[in-house]
Amino acid sequence: METRATIIILLDGRRVIIPNASVYSSSVTVNTARPLRRSQYDIGIGYGDGIAEARAAILKAIAKVEAIVSDPAPEVIVFDLAASSVNLRVRWWTPSKGFNLVKVQGEVLEGVKTALDAKGIDIPYATQVMLFHDQTEDADGHRDAQREGWPPRRKRPERSDNGQGAN
């Protein structure tokens, strides 16, 4: 910290100069202030795959990464039921200093991909279905008559009381 500015050297070697007026009036995030730092990554598995089996494979894979600590324990949480996958949030802790977090994340992802492949657990691509219809047809805009993309409308059974209700 100098008279007019605070100088910080980032882990990737870049130098950041922050005016002290900003330091005194704004929040500052210090990634290395605590002994441990949590990282996370979301991974999607197929709807037909077992969550418990995927969780076990992921935890076993990331336990092999040297930088990951066992306390607090890594975790795998169902985070989203998305359109194409069940998304699992993988969270792990590493020491704040002494490890390259980008490299650690690469090791985690490689291990997870290899473990899921070995178990036959699918990591699906996002899918989208697009339905097209001929907009020049006479039926265009009439849901009962259109063929593409709309389920057939069910007819309601006729009421025997002529809509008057039972008395």
pLDDT of 161 over the 80 cut: no
The pLDDT of residue 35 is: 83
Q: What is the mean pLDDT of residues 142-156?
A: 59
Using one digit for the tens of pLDDT, what is the confidence trace for 22-79?
Answer: 877 877 777 677 889 999 999 999 999 999 999 999 999 999 999 999 999 999 999 9
pTM for the model stands at 0.66
Q: What is the mean pLDDT of residues 115-135?
A: 82
| Domain layout of the chain by residue ranges | 1-30, 34-133
| Nearest-angstrom CA–CA distance, 8 and 23 | 12
The pLDDT of residue 61 is: 97
| Nearest-angstrom CA–CA distance, 102 and 79 | 23
Q: Would you tell me which CATH number, out of the four given (3.40.50.720, 3.40.50.880, 3.90.245.10, 3.30.70.100), belongs to the domain 34-133?
A: 3.30.70.100
Provide the mean pLDDT of the chain. Answer: 83
Closest Cα partner for 85 from 115, 117, 42? Answer: 42
Q: Phi and psi at residue 38, in whole multiples of 5°?
A: -95, 140
Q: Which residues pair with 89 in a beta bridge?
A: 42, 77
Give residue for tokens 């473990």.
Answer: 115
